[in-house]
Structure 1
Amino acid sequence: MSVTTEFTSVEAQAIAAKKAAKVLSQLSTAEKNEVLHVLADALEKKTNVILEANQLDLDTGRAKGYDAAYMDRLALSKERISEFAEGLRQVATLEDPTGKILSSWTLANGLLVEKVSVPLGVIGMIYEARPNVTVDATGLALKSGNSIVLKGGSSALSSNQAIVQVMHEALDHTLVPKEAVQFIASTTREATQQLFTMKEHIDVLIPRGGASLINAVVNQATIPVLETGVGNCHLYIDVEADVDKALNILINAKTDRPAVCNALETAIIHKDWLIKNKSHLVDIFNKHGITVHGDEMAQTYIPNAVPATEKDWANEYLSLDLAIKTVNNVEEAIDHIETYGTKHSEAIVTENKETAKKFMSLVDASALYHNASTRFTDGGALGFGAEIGISTQKLHARGPMGLPALTTVKFIMSGNGQIR
């Protein structure tokens, strides 16, 4: 395929999505909910078809030597397909974010002003290995009245094509035109860059993946970007931390699913707590196969800890590696997070309410936890249904982005002949 033909194809898909968005904006909440149930049922019915396609991607990934974390994000199973189908059904139960009168007032001249929530229009979604994003993003887009143009990574191409094909076949039996869900199958750099620049057809671009992908989108796109962020997440264990709480939270945040962005990457531990509870830490590290990258004090008290470098403090391992930084107080912990954090999710374990309050007020992140695991930074866990990403920026949306993040506003004025 020539570059010119490819560009034409990508633009044609965006134009078709924009046209379909007009249809979507007119549907009732009940009609949109019915579509989500149809899609969920179709995905579960065609599980074997999707798994066969996913196996092709997994075979290619193994041949290319993808690491375990990447393969985990890429892999589907009957259970995972059921989970993202159930996510669509959960989204159907959520309140429709569109058509809401957010505020209203009447001017002195009698003109009624209403601020109303409306769909963004067309969402461009660019992401890497996770095929579940194809479903999650589509469900949230359709429920909020938006069309979506999907650009998944080449590593999940077969999986994504199969999923979109199943959804297209299902949409043929609904009020939503299948053109509302577009998938760009091309894996060329030119097609991706074309997606970045179609401001006249796409209203917002959402990147979801590693730092290099996100930075490329932010730096190159001419379309407004809802920036998601990588998760260099920290847990500060204070000198007044309860031992059982601290250990359980650390284990969960690090080992429950190491390859996701809300997993723990650095434990910041008060030196006195470390000295007192070193044997407990060593036990859980050995039990769970955690490799510690520690500063000088951590190496002293944790056998087999490897020396941490500057790279370790900034690293999103996405594995069973854990950096450990020791500090003298909460202020030093906050300074470390300020230097190396990605504004994703940060946690403190302490029984001192004033220390917790200081941490929560001074740490800049989209999600903060006191005596709880960072693994809750997730749309499903927080009751949003599926999420379209976790925003670490500050404008328009921040944190797990559910349905409200995919809307904007219109000001609607009603009068009886007023002029200015």
Structure 2
Amino acid sequence: MAGIEYVVISTQALAEVVIVSAAGYMLHMNKAGLKLLADVSISILTPALLFAKITKSLDRQMLAKLWLVPVLYVVLGLVGLVWTRWGGQKMRLPDGFRRLCSVAVFFSNVNIMLIPIIQGIASSPDSRFLLRDKGDTPDAMADRSIAYGMIIAVMNNLLRWSVGVAIMTPPKGKGSHALNTVDSFELIGMADQPPMQQVCARSGELLAPTATGALAGEDASRVSSGMARSHVRVVAARRWVATLRAVWDAVSPCLTPPLCSVLAAVFVVLLPALQSALLKKGTYAFSVWASIDTCGEACVPVTLLALGGQLGIPREAKPGGPGTDYITERELKLGVVLVLVGRFLVAPVFTCGALLAIYNYAPWLAPLLRGDPALFLTLAIASATPPAISLLTVAQKLGMYESEAASILSWAYAIGVVALAIEVSIFLWLASCTQYI
């Protein structure tokens, strides 16, 4: 394929992003409207999109055969985190803004960008060298590649709405608060209890007017020992309650609606009978799934409208000082460069290097890598897509670095048209140079 064709494929893939974002820009929405779009997207539309795509595209056998794909994704994501941490420190970027850059490099736009690019490549007559065998077809290759991409999307969304939110959220000392809660909870409970010696003495006084002093002493001893055991049980129960509260405080911020949707979809995929019943047309279960799928179809345009609307809001000057998300124009430009290099250079180079190393030296780790060239191409393209558009949604949800996230995304998608055209040609060349054919 000629280089100009790769440019056409990339621009066609980004056409929807540009058009819908431009519509959002022209609407001149205020921040209240953008917040509403973000809430609707995170609470309803994004979970619906993830659940519908995962339950339709994946099955249990595919998950078992491609176990290396999510592992490789996590490892390469950690490489991106190391890059942004090292580069951000060298550039002396603020910690909060460096966190935003880390999320932008770690999480790519697999859901929206990968599918049109793969379909465009499959429709080209010059891409027949990507077919698995003589019985393979371009349509089957495209469907297979999309399924591979959905495995990446599972990990992408699973980590984006858990680890990504955790990375973006500024530390609030929850761990120390939890420990203080345990201590104060126990101290309050113990302060309400009288000293054990006083309990025993009072018990003896209450039992003193009995028939014999010895019997009264024995009764007092039994009462005091029973109360001691009861006190120990109460303290232990309070410790367990405080520990559970501390664990819940740490986990609950990660249990976002998109993450719960991914977990529910994976649960359905792991139960073939449930998956078949859900996707069987003509049933009430399919009506439920179709309703979810309909909501999911609205996710991409709503998210893109929010992106365009955010770009239409001028960046306001913020007061500097500790505890704010203020950054200078110079820091913003350095952050954009950090993300662009990490997203379009560091991640693709490490991904292709790892795939070629596995292909040549450890093919037993991923047998499908030798048997299906579309797998190599899919993983390579996924590593070079721009940052996920939900970066802006997460920033809006947390109420920090919103305009900075919009600036990063606008530069990433503007440069991504050219970057993807170049990188897709390189990926196709690498696939053709291997021993697949």
User: So what's the TM-score if we normalise by structure 1?
Assistant: 0.25
Structure with higher RCO (Cα < 8 A, 6+ apart): 2
Larger radius of gyration: 2
| Higher strand proportion | 1
User: So what's the TM-score if we normalise by structure 2?
Assistant: 0.24
